[in-house]
Structure 1
Amino acid sequence: MMILSIVLTSLFGNALVILLIHRDRRLHTPMYFLLSQLSLMDMMLVSTTVPKMAADYLTGNKAISPAGCGVQIFFLLTLGGGECFLLAAMAYDRYAALCHPLRYPMLMSWQLCLRMTMSCWFLGAADGLLQAVASLSFPYCGAHEIDHFFCEAPVLVRLACADTSVFENAMYICCVLMLLVPLSLILSSYGLILAAVLHMRSTEARKKAFATCSSHVAVIGLFYGAAIFTYMRPKSHRSTNHDKVVSAFYTVFTPLLNPLIYSVRNSEVKGALIRCMGRCVALSHE
């Protein structure tokens, strides 16, 4: 019941963010379009794991077909990889807005924003497809019991009765690239933002700049911390119980925290919510 409550709250919060961005013209900017894509990814991420987990718990039928397992791996990695690159795109957006405000419409045009968004989805899907197909290509002739609450590539590969060292090394390199390349772009963007903020003479301008970026930095810390812990640890340091806890965090709790962080720390989103509630109250009176 606790997990279902968290998931329903997460779905409602992310759907509300998407609705507010879609309905409020003041939020029709590249920054909030990228935020709506983040909320969409979070909704899909929660829907990939929790419904199956809840159904297994309630019915007692804790089984999944190979195809269903492959689908879970594909969507998990598609959404996780896509979110890595999307957070990097959001960091570039903040860099363009704070460091080059007069050139922002040119540096972050709608055409570029759409291309970046499509690239995030494509790169995530390519990674998900490759790892899902590779994971299911191994023979599983021994125990078929996954010590996890959903299918995850590192956990599934442990059950294979074949040499998986080449695949595990390739998966490790792939995850390093998928995580560290966007993270390096994010750190570069925020390094330049920090340098620009420190050169601001106005204390009020500094506070506003830090407030604008603090929400994004919090989301990055939550997401990348859990993802790096899950996919970049050496095999000798892996623990099943640790994997379960961290996987639950980034698949269940992070999608819940994202809309809360952005709504609480963002005055424009709060303003859009107040205006939307005001319209709803007016319509109910009419």
Structure 2
Amino acid sequence: MSVLVSSVVMIGMFWVVPTGLALLDGPSPPGRDALRRAWPLLALPGALALWLPRSGVSTALAGVYALATLALALQAPARLMLTRSLRPSEIAVLTALVAPSVAGLAFVAERASYPLFGFELDILALTVPHFHFAGFAAALVAGLVSRTSDGPGARFAALSVPAGTLLVLLGYFVDDWAELAGAVVLTAGMAAVSVLTLRERRELAADPLTRGLLAVSALVLVATMLLALSWALGEATGLPHLSLTWMAATHGLGNALGFAVCALLARRRLATDRTPPALLPRTELPA
């Protein structure tokens, strides 16, 4: 993998996934908290595999991380059994829990120099960050932001981001036009997330830093998704578009830092602001 892609993937492995898991509310399936706390340790073999040449050693290290993503994916049916809910926001959260396992599978194949399903190694390498950020982070944020509003826009955001991600994945197996359809749905869903985020900024964020983080995540999201849409359109029609290298440097880096990191930082601050302070012990009053 390139230095840029490997660096972005490390952000997803070490920070985005455990931070996102800490933001989940609702019932906690057995093992979720332990998995979240252990995640940086589980990500360490994967991070080492990123910087080693493709070999049996790097494949084995990637396999350790892939097993962690599989354990995370198993949290989805466990959560569903507890919530017994398929509300749009829950569908988005379940999608987020499953998405890293797609990255883990692609990661193992890429490190093993195996063209999984016939995909070139460069495509497999880019699938790894894609399903950490467009898969996990975007679906999770869509699920969280839709809980602050019960309107049709919130439901659309929570459903279209997972649907668009799935359609893009299916487009890999069908053709460029199917991938373009997925990009259209995903871009529309991300635009809805951006609108809801700006509404949150106005209604919920009190301090300037949180407001700034929400604004950056919303505006960068629109720009990066327009780049993704133009790339998918160019692939389908032959119109001029950015190369994969430039897409990684613009769309990929913007989605990782400008959207995912800023959005999760802002939501962590919002969650802290909503947490009631611990009750202070009463002091004895003088008689």
Q: TM-score, normalised by structure 2?
A: 0.45
Structure with greater contact order relative to length (CA < 8 Å, sep ≥ 6)? 1
Q: TM-score, normalised by structure 1?
A: 0.45
Q: Which one has the largest radius of gyration?
A: 1
